[in-house]
Structure 1
Amino acid sequence: MFRLDQKLERIRSGNYSRSDFILADAKDGDMGPSITSCGPKREKDGSWTRHYTRAEFLENIRAVVEQDIVDVMLTSASNMETLIDMGVYRGSAIKPAIRANDTTDVWVGRGASYVKHPSRAFRTASLPRVTTGSIDPAPGAPITGTDLGLYSITFNNDLEHDMAALEAFTDFRDDAARNNFKYFLEVFNPNVASGVDPEILPHYINDCIMRCLAGIMKADRPRFLKIAYNGPKALEELASYDSSIVVGILGGGAGTTRDCFELLSQAERYGARVALFGRKINLAEDPLAMITFMRAVTDGALQPIEAVKAYHGSLQKSGITPLRDLATDSEITEKPLKAG
């Protein structure tokens, strides 16, 4: 059994402890920004001249899997396939997952303007190929890839676009059921002006989430949620509303190191049980060290400010020049975190 399954079982049974907090590394950026999502290939002095190649990026993923701290590794379907061929997941307790859809609000390639329009549903990955390697698998065919993926949806308070998104979500669930595929649900904040008062927006998102799940039977519900952290009040409201729904938070922008650790600390305190971080890991000076101290924060071994100091100490020991000095990196810069 993967570590993810064990932790979800304890969370749902009411036996959660801080060591059960689920960490996921979101390395699925090639489904959005593409080439630049691999991150800059930095030297120890912080300089860089190019982004990582795909081959180098896959080796970076291998290093995270071998570190064995995160519980889920989220990638594109093509990268998951290559990682499996490389033997990266052999014997690992880390669950591979794929981005199961790539809506237009993640199409943020250089020069693109798609994100200026309300999100539209779109899917590239083939679920039968991802699960069994076949487009028409025989009943009971063994899983050769993975049976877990991320499905994302964006509500913009736009009737036509939101209805189309919900209809696409229904189609996906039917496809998932036919292929014995499980998913976790990512709900983005609006990607265009929604007309919803900013003070009400976090609660609008909560209502949208629970409304879209209300008609879904247990067999077709997501294993957990992935949402933006919109402050303690909204998160606590959502996490306490229905104990059968496991709430997770996404990382958003890179921010400061304090932002990363503070987000983990506040999210856990107000009811989240999962964190799925992409840029906060991938753009760190030392991603493996960042993950180590992320786990220390979620376990309660270090407070956020202590973790920032320890991370800088680790960078110094490794001879890595930090992007920001300790004082600057200790600041909270993301607005929702200042309310916690």
Structure 2
Amino acid sequence: DLTKDRPKLLANALRSIAEQTYANLEIVVVNDGGQDVRDVVTALAGDIPVEYIAHEKSRGRSAAANSALKAARGLYLNFLDDDDVFYPDHLETLVSAILSRDEKIVYSSVLSAHFNGPAENPENCIKKVVNHDIDFDPDRILFQNYLPIMSVLFHRDILSKVEGFSEDLTLFEDWDFWIRVSRHFHFHHIDKVTAEYRFYGAKTTEESHRQKYEYLKAQAQIFDRVTPFLTGEIWTKFLSTDLFDQLRHDGKCQNDRLEPARTELRQTTDELDEAHRQIETLLDQVQADKALLEEIFSSKGWRWLTRFRRLKVALSFGKSGIS
């Protein structure tokens, strides 16, 4: 279980582990430089053995995952981020599947759930959809990240063929890991929803733009890494399948979602330009008024008027002194 500064979400994740129908397990919690949550872990783990690892400072998701791999003692491994949950039969389903087949890796389907408040209140769930239920295709995974990290259970033998998570990646470290694993092993899909991939809250336009930029940047890093695996046959397969159309459609949808923000940005830019022009006009007027005042102050008429005012003040003072 990977966590950082989200004790309430971590509690939900730990409860989902404690409620598993499969009993022979251990929990490795990696706290990636966040507040101490040892008490939360101890209180909710129950009788399950726990290994608690705390990074002194944040080292990133990949480093946290690698710390968990090194500490885990079990034969089979499964990850869970602190904002996601297992359903009670998750581990039992995956362990039964991997033991009954000559496979090193199995994965289940996952439901995506979107919340606008605490998940404990069902009314806060605004959207649920099963969109991670795709059968394994070693070519498709080069183009699409369709394996949420909590859905996959794997034998630790794969670590003798594939190194751990790439610590130079800040996003898609799991996708990169599955791609490298898929070059050596087959993944078996269990067509059953056993976990929930959770999303919380609404992001501001600025946050969405920043996240989109980081997403595309990280996606480009993955595509750079898969280039050696892309044969002409794989490209042909990709271009002739629905995946290409789906990705193109997804790109159009993303563009459509961004268009209102672009329109708003253009309007704001126009308003700023108009405000800038008004400020320049005011500055020009101030300069003109200043020049006019300087011209008045330096004129003979102004000098005579100043002398007259001084003389008037002096006479007034004299009259007041006489009385």
TM-score normalised by L of structure 2: 0.25
Structure with the higher strand share, 1 or 2: 2
Give 1 or 2 for the bigger CA radius of gyration: 2
Structure with the higher helix share, 1 or 2: 2
TM-score normalised by L of structure 1: 0.24
